[in-house]
Amino acid sequence: MRVLLAGASGAVGRPLTRQLIAAGHEVVGISRSQTNAERLRNAGAEAVVADVMDREKLLAAVRGVRADTVIHELTALGTTNMREALQGTNNLRTTGTTNLLAAARAVGAHRFLTQSIVLGYGYRDHGPHVITEDAAFGEPVGGKLGDAVAAMRSAEEQVFSADEMEGIALRYGFFYGQDSMTDMMVNLLRKRRLPVPSSGGFANFIYLEDAAAATVAALEKGRAGQAYNIVDDEPVRWGDYLDTLASGLGARRPWRVPSWMLRAIPYAHAMMTTSMRVSNAKAKRELGWAPAVPTYREGIPLVAKASR
């Protein structure tokens, strides 16, 4: 297929561009900078320069472009200010999705994949229950986290309800690999500045290369109107994950603190006290995909090697 990829220069976008081309697809990447556009061209993709938050300039940039599918992989999570990153990501999932759907119609696309995240199942302790795609997603909650959940829901609902468009949502776990968030975590661990709640919950991770592979599989085999959980095979407590990462880096074990002490960092508190066990069975069954890095035990040595 011919794919218009928004976020082609991001954490998922880079391996996704490479894997799409390797699978025989053509990629037209959307980038906000000429520098990243040139990198995309060097990787074998075409590129257009546009800000998806500016509808008119986006539509002007894709004038004359033709594509079968649009893939939305945009977030603002690479920025250093977490509040700005969350708000920027919310905007990309609401207004950005609206604008990309307009671009999809302009380029003649009939298929649209959007990134989502398993945290849309709710920032809370889900207990031992294994979460599948049939669980309630995007239920209203209060506060800033409510804004984030509402944005996740908006992106999915827009894509699923778009006329004459085969909409698919990919509910990713926490990314790790060669990306800015992993680099930040590595730096904090080395300085022993990343405390872990003593009663932290279970999290669901996905290695970046596996996230990209699942996205290619969803492009080729995903069913319209469906969401897919893209996580690895084993949920892990934050403490165990960070202990293993610290050990791989040759760093000291992270401090253990009571959960309430993280309330000064609201997003970290919400993330590390949320507990869920998410199933990837549907993605395996319908997409013919399985993570090449099945758990953090196999993935962390790759991160540690890269960090050297």
CB 236 within 8 A of CB 295: yes
- Give Rg (Cα) of the chain: 19
| Burial label, 220 (beta-carbon count in 10 A; 0-12, 13-18, 19+) | middle
Percent of the chain with pLDDT over 70: 99
How is residue 165 annotated by DSSP?
-
Between 21 and 85, whose confidence is greater?
21
pLDDT digits (tens, 9 = 90+) for 255-281: 999 988 888 888 888 889 999 999 999
pLDDT band per the 50, 70, 90 thresholds, residue 180: confident
Q: How far apart are CA 19 and CA 150, in angstroms?
A: 31
Does the pLDDT at position 169 exceed 90? yes
How much is the pLDDT for 181?
A: 86
CB 204 within 8 A of CB 176: no
How much is the pLDDT for 298?
A: 98
pLDDT digits (tens, 9 = 90+) for 123-158: 999 999 999 999 999 998 877 789 999 999 999 999
pLDDT digits (tens, 9 = 90+) for 104-119: 999 999 999 999 999 9
Q: How far apart are CA 292 and CA 299, in angstroms?
A: 9
How much is the pLDDT for 278?
A: 98
How much is the pLDDT for 84?
A: 87
How much is the pLDDT for 65?
A: 98
CA-to-CA separations, 237 to 68, 112, 230, 242, 247, in angstroms, rounded: 40, 33, 18, 9, 16
DSSP per position, 205-223: EEEHHHHHHHHHHHHHHPP
pLDDT band per the 50, 70, 90 thresholds, residue 62: very high
pLDDT digits (tens, 9 = 90+) for 11-28: 999 999 999 999 999 999
Pinpoint the alpha helices (H) of the chain: 13-22, 34-42, 55-61, 82-107, 143-161, 180-190, 208-221, 238-249, 266-273, 281-287, 296-307
How much is the pLDDT for 144?
A: 79
pTM for this predicted structure: 0.96
CA-to-CA separations, 232 to 16, 224, 239, 298, in angstroms, rounded: 17, 23, 17, 11
Does the pLDDT at position 80 exceed 90? no
3-state SS of 9-65 is CCCCHHHHHHHHHHCCCEEEEEECCHHHHHHHHHCCCEEEECCCCCHHHHHHHCCCC
Longest pairwise C-alpha distance within the chain: 57
Q: How far apart are CA 274 and CA 127, in angstroms?
A: 10
Cβ-based neighbours of 193, under 8 Å, separated by 6 or more: none
Q: How far apart are CA 174 and CA 68, in angstroms?
A: 29
pLDDT digits (tens, 9 = 90+) for 187-236: 999 999 999 988 889 999 999 999 999 999 999 999 999 999 999 999 99
How much is the pLDDT for 82?
A: 77
Mean pLDDT of the chain: 95
Residue type, position 193, single letter: R
Average pLDDT over residues 60-75: 97
How much is the pLDDT for 2?
A: 98
Does the pLDDT at position 83 exceed 90? no
